[in-house]
Structure 1
């Protein structure tokens, strides 16, 4: 059965030219693997118009520059049906190519005859189409509805998502799917993973969530930081020139992507019309957060060229020059990755050549005056965004802002020893103030100001353009410094912003800090530098007393530490002596114990040998018996051992007798008097008669 299915699938792909296995599989599955019906779904009917079989009627597209037209924000627009993440258009394109290739044949034969001719040699037995052995079933739960999807085991996650898109209209990049085996959850996030490698059963239950409103992909919450470390390959079809490729890190914002395109194609950001960004994105969304895939395609058009082609009137040169100059001043152009060079520009063969539908272009966006987005609820995130946006807007050179929370900045500046302590300079920014551009573009770019702030201060910046961010920061000042600091910042008028609050800690304040000075934005470069230096000098003078006290305390602590060290060394020496003495005594005791143990073992061994020898002695004959042999053994102490043996007893019995009396043969020799010979060196199996030791003999025991 499976071979018939594979044959039917291969025949369907060969006839229609559809290379996408998932798409071909879906067509066959929809008609229960009836090849004729599947071909009828794809091939044009006999009564279809042949004059223009490729292009279908489409609704009129309003010109993006006409007044009153609706537009998206930030140069984004939703993709058309052909561009939605979903089933590939490769099948349709292949079909149209096949149609053009065989157009003459279609004129000569009706479609039904052509299909019959093409399928005449293929087994269309319906019974062979009902084999479910090699098909995996997925029950997709979405919006309290159940969708059934069937795919072959060789299908990929990407093909499954496209099938889900066909059933639910949820774009691929907005699908969050759960229900995978825990051990394969990470593999299920990779589009190229085959479903047969996910340890799935033939019947599977999956849950689908549409993340269109969330702005994130179908990833776990902790995957966005991981995507931030990845590089994104962005293929951009720019009409009419073709395709070019950018490789950018995941932390790149969409605004920076547009600036990169401006560097490569010289298209001002306000003239860029994009197709393909997911909904919910804005210029401050990073690539990792946007929900696009690591390899993503976009369509880009130049609104200015479109306007020019419609009106046949070129843009005013002064306006174009002014806009280009403005962009260069406002944004810090992000350098492309070394891999994103002109050598990587590709032609447009990878893109569908079908006509794209473009929506109205957005109006020219005004210059963003805020450096922190509205309603920021995290001071660390706000500080990071402030630093990045300040550098991007005002460019180099720029002062070195602290990137982190206000509390960390206070710890680094004020809560240190007096010699290392610095002033905390809090830069209060406001995008609506008329002093902002002059203050940031001139005063804050001066080398003397940058060096002074770097050497003497920890510089922390915050944007008070939005009331929500202002209120949040005032609360932080109250909690971290004092209510007076919050009141001081609140009372600074808009016409005196931006401003710099100088915060310090002295001996009189204990562990608290206070605002020592406030420098308003309506000040000249020399006056700003003078105020910074004067405040620093006054603060350092106040610190001198505390520095001397710290030095005296450090000297006392040093003397005490030296005394403690000397005492500790003496104590350690005494302890070492006691330890050595105890160690020696323990060693001696161990040695005595060892010797005693060896002695006991030796005594036990000797006693064991003696007992064995004693038990092996033959019975002593009586004095009246014949053929007996009487021996006398002179011990080293001078006394004698006496015993009678039969003449048939062997020498070993005599040696055992000596051993039984405590004289081991391994330690003593048994010597006969005449002729003098060592009986322990003679074969012990010989009898006493053979050795001619009867009727009486005296032996001598000698130590070896």
Structure 2
């Protein structure tokens, strides 16, 4: 067999894309024979989804020697596996085409993958005649059968949130599974129930009261499915995540980081494998934790997808909006690496569900290097801006100091002017009062006698300013008239003394 594989490999030359698709096919289907894998992919013209569907449809034609008890135990073990063992059950219960659900007398053709029970389009239904009962967390008593009636999976409802699997039977003459399933009520199967298959809660429910509630639900359910070794998801809105990544409020430019958006879709073939083996790998989780802001969203529900597209419009990330509108669910999960340059958000790189951990690591590192160059430019611009701001602040400070000095000088001049004006007013008032007093004193003196009058005395006075004046007085006039005359000239006796020419001098006022 080994020689055959080598000969076949020698004859077939695969492109890089074909090699990647082949590896993903072998990983998902657990097909160890590379020759068979190549033949399968060639038979469907390298359509991975079709090859996987065809492979799992072929798995239904296995031997009837498998014990139903063994299969029942296996189903039960799947139901009680908490963190990711559901993938195996998903692969065992993979169906292609639209499934018919018989609930009473009605049949509904609806693709359902919201809870992650099947990766095809099969859907569980309870005993209720209303399809609205499918939203409940518990399922009614049902019997899941193929249309041919050869294969049957009996399911009964439990008291909790899961369903019990009683047994799995296949007829020995089964020649394959036709891709359709039929659900019928079978009360007899209630007695054989011995296991539970739990529904899978969505990462983001279709209805939530706040974005914080939605993001908290995303993290809690993600950890319940894939474990705790994952990058920390930002617990806010997309706008807040963009602000935290590219503005780092209150922190320097060096702490800004590119944004990674993880968009999940439970309807995708690789949703579980990518989340567990790629996003939660040690290297990827460590790199995202240390160098990126990671924000997650669930695109499974159409309402959540439309909400995501609106958010991209509101935040002006139009190129990403166009890409998501054209991306089919088979390509999910998506890891979008977002950078920002010159104020514009840019989708630098993205990975789809079929990329390997090393592919994602390479793209993350390239995105990190690219944004580091942007940050280097922004840091230089920020440094220049800070220097300009420092100069502006210094100039502003000097201007304000100069303005304060000018204002102080102006106020000082105003005060001096006011003091001078007040002093001048007081001086003028004093002079006016002095002049009035001098006039009154002069008018109170008797008239000066003439030179021809008898009994007169001539008094020669020299004033402090150097001026001299002669005045005639009558001999019978009191000496006080001399003091009044001198005061009428502006020399108050409170400030001046009248000295005679005797030696020693005598104060005439005191005589």
The normalised TM-score by structure 2 is 0.45
- Which protein shows a greater Rg? 2
The normalised TM-score by structure 1 is 0.34
